[in-house]
Structure 1
Amino acid sequence: MQPRSLGPTRRPGPSRYPGPRRFAGPPTSFIVITVAVIQIVGTLFSAGRQDAPRPLDVLAILLLLAGPAGLAFRKRAPQLMLPIALVATGAYLALGYPWGPIVLSLALAVIMTAAAGLRWQAWAGAGVAAAAVIAAAALAGDDNWPVRASAGVAWAAILVLIGQGIRRRSERFAEYRRRRESAEKAERDEYRLTLARDIHDVVAHSLSMINVQASVALHVGADDPAKLRPALEAIKAASKESLTEVRQLLGVLREDIPLAPAARPTLVRIPELVKNAEVGGLQVTLTDNANHQLVGSAQQEAAYRIIQEALTNVGRHSGARSAVVRIAQTAESLTVTVEDDGGGMGGALPGNGLTGMRERAAALGGTLTLGELHPGLRVQATLPAPQEGNLP
């Protein structure tokens, strides 16, 4: 008797949904220090080449540091960045200190405010800065002040749009991450369901066979010793098979054996199921009208497992004396039917076995139905034919 496969069970490993990694940007401390150094060093360098109304002093240095310091609120309180940068930059320029890269902190504050989702505050701050540029250009009496004013307004708008672009990219990444986590959770849930079905199919079935065959051995041991040896041999074979399957299942859980063994259940092994059921005293009639070469491997495995579980339920719960297994094939589907003459469902709720059969059929786009026969129960599964190219 060949050991049954665990089927296409797959343990979720590293994500199968690779995508762009999130770019969180440089650390806030790095931004603050870099901007502060650029503003101080750049202003000191440019001040020596200008005739500014007011030389650099301690207040100028404090104003040059205030803008970068405001950027430190990037994550804790982003709404404070732009007001601090506006006040520091406006005060520095209004007091007549030498021109330099003082506007760097203001530009970054506009971008970061928009990137933080404070769109209206970013546009308001950019508008204030643009108005200040227009006023300064007009008061300077420069004939080209409209050009300078237009350039200032354009740059203010561009900075806000850059920040909004960063914000949209962050939102797209967050949405991608949510989809990826949802897909990975669905994969883990599917793995658990598949593993639960495999545990039920390959372990519970074998143990059930051992139980039934042991009962037969106890029954015939005293009255008909000639039948005792076949029953004990069947118990030995079933227990050996069950032990092999338990070891294989533990290997899957420990990930030290392949997760998709080659020996998957097929329709060819249905007579083996029938023989095992007959050892327990059930009379089984098998009718197989399917062309196995035209049935996909997934459909064959599902059909095998459904028939296996149905016969197990007949032997354990129904009290039936006979059962009929039919396998029929059309161009569109494969249909497997198991009928018995037992007590039927008797009002009982479906257990794990019936749930697993339904899940196997549904996974292939098929259906599984139950029908009372008075007496008996009919279990019928219809599995759609595989698309061309998926045949074994």
Structure 2
Amino acid sequence: MRKKSVLDPYNALVVAAAQLVLSYGAYWGQRDFREPLDWLAVALLLVGPVGVLLRRRYPVGTAVAALAATYAYTWSGYPYGPVYLSPIILLFSLVTLGQRVKAWVMAGVTIVVFITYGYIRSGEPTGLFHDLAVTAFVLLLMVVAELTRIVRERRAQQQRAAEEENRRQASEERLTMAQELHDVLAHNISLIHVQASTALHLIDDNPQQARTALATIKTASKEVLGEMRSVLNVLRDGAPRSPTAGLDRLDELLERSGLDVTLERAGSRALPPQVERAAYRIVQESLTNAARHAPGAAVTVLLAYGARELVIEVTDGGSTTPPVLAGEGSGNGIPGMRERAVALGGTLVAGPSGRGFRVAARLPLPEEKA
């Protein structure tokens, strides 16, 4: 953002032209009782525009100078009218720039000066109407300035709050995407490791099965690259924020897992994107744990679609071969799944089930529209 200049040349030129030109015009209407403009009047008329030019750098000093020049101009008998434009602008600016007490003091001094001028100039009291008119005009100016300041401050506060909210949402989205990336990598790298170990073990005795394991590695590596690109695209500014995986890809996930998996579905309905993504990741992480800790086990995946919740159960029957990756991994799989469920207002429990292991999650669903 470009920094605002401390000078205000355009407004100053406009004010200078208005005060000089209109003051000459005002004299023709007041020539019977006001003094003609001379070099001193022109000099006093230019003090205010100079103050407008420098008001951002010296807000108090320019306001004092413009008011003093206005007092001198008026007391010298020059025409009323345009000379008051500069003090109005500078007092208004002083309030909006935060110098409120000084602005109100100057406004009070101005009221006293002009009421006193009326008494001294005419030699007798000018009347209550004159005094009230001067007071009302100055107070109206100050009240309008205060209201403008309040509106600007509230608008700036709302803008700061909106920017803070945008930063918070962006941080949450990036945290979600980081979790997505972790789940993608953890699942696919574990799968690649298991299949690579299988291929090395069988490459001499059973080349065909080793070939199948290598094909699974190829597919998994391609899949992880694609998912990483998808997640990273979401992290870029302006990228569409859409789920990187959903239950429509569940069959593909089960096929790539290298496990003996049975999928059971009870019911069917449309799911919110965040629920579908969480369900996919919970199944994915459960299969990763099964491949790591219970290779060769039969696994059952159950999806039960209810009116108010989605139930996910992943159960394995226990390992039939020595675990390849049992001692590896970050240990964040189950906490990560539980965090996903809790973030949506659901629950997740995981623990031994007979000889095997069971993960059960319940994710709340919105009521279906008729």
The TM-score with structure 2 as length reference comes to 0.80
Question: 5+ unaligned residues in a row in structure 1: which ranges?
Answer: 1-23
Q: Which residue of 2 aligns with 1:97?
A: 78
- Confirm whether residue 221 of structure 1 aligns to residue 235 of structure 2: no
Aligned residue among 378, 381, 389 for 2:361: 381
C-alpha contact (below 8 Å) 1:86/1:106 kept by paired residues: yes
CA distance, structure 2, for counterparts of residue 296 and residue 27 of structure 1? 55
Q: Which residue of 2 aligns with 1:334?
A: 310
Q: Which residue of 2 aligns with 1:112?
A: 93
CA drift of 1:302 comes to 1.9
- Confirm whether residue 312 of structure 1 aligns to residue 288 of structure 2: yes
Deviates more, 1:162-171 or 1:40-49: 40-49
Question: 1:370 and 1:131, CA in 2 relative to 1: closer, same or farther beyond 3 A?
Answer: farther
CA drift of 1:252 comes to 5.8
- By relative contact order (CA 8 Å, sep 6+), the higher-ranking structure is 1
SS in 2 for 1:383: strand
CA distance, structure 1, for counterparts of residue 239 and residue 19 of structure 2? 62
- Confirm whether residue 168 of structure 1 aligns to residue 123 of structure 2: no
Question: 1:295 and 1:129, CA in 2 relative to 1: closer, same or farther beyond 3 A?
Answer: closer
- Confirm whether residue 59 of structure 1 aligns to residue 75 of structure 2: no
> Which structure 2 residues correspond to residues 67-82 of structure 1 after superposition, within 5 A?
67-82=48-63
- Letter matched to residue 44 of structure 1: Y
CA distance, structure 2, for counterparts of residue 285 and residue 25 of structure 1? 70
C-alpha contact (below 8 Å) 1:338/1:379 kept by paired residues: yes
CA drift of 1:141 comes to 5.4
Question: 1:112 and 1:259, CA in 2 relative to 1: closer, same or farther beyond 3 A?
Answer: closer
- Letter matched to residue 59 of structure 1: L
Question: 1:169 and 1:25, CA in 2 relative to 1: closer, same or farther beyond 3 A?
Answer: farther
CA distance, structure 2, for counterparts of residue 355 and residue 193 of structure 1? 15
CA distance, structure 1, for counterparts of residue 313 and residue 283 of structure 2? 8
Q: Which residue of 2 aligns with 1:193?
A: 175
Question: 1:95 and 1:370, CA in 2 relative to 1: closer, same or farther beyond 3 A?
Answer: farther
CA distance, structure 2, for counterparts of residue 108 and residue 251 of structure 1? 51
C-alpha contact (below 8 Å) 1:81/1:113 kept by paired residues: no
C-alpha contact (below 8 Å) 2:269/2:305 kept by paired residues: no
Question: 5+ unaligned residues in a row in structure 2: which ranges?
Answer: none
CA distance, structure 2, for counterparts of residue 105 and residue 298 of structure 1? 59
CA distance, structure 2, for counterparts of residue 377 and residue 356 of structure 1? 17
CA drift of 1:102 comes to 1.4
Q: Deviations over 1:302-339 (max 9, x none)?
A: 212211022113323x3566355443444321122335
SS in 2 for 1:380: strand
CA distance, structure 2, for counterparts of residue 191 and residue 59 of structure 1? 67
Identity within the alignment, %: 38
SS in 1 for 2:82: coil
CA RMSD of aligned residues (A): 3.8
CA distance, structure 1, for counterparts of residue 262 and residue 50 of structure 2? 86
CA distance, structure 1, for counterparts of residue 315 and residue 216 of structure 2? 24
SS in 2 for 1:336: strand
C-alpha contact (below 8 Å) 1:130/1:153 kept by paired residues: yes
Q: How many residues align?
A: 359
- Letter matched to residue 217 of structure 1: A
SS in 1 for 2:311: strand
- Letter matched to residue 165 of structure 1: L
Q: Which residue of 2 aligns with 1:357?
A: 337
Q: Which residue of 2 aligns with 1:152?
A: 134
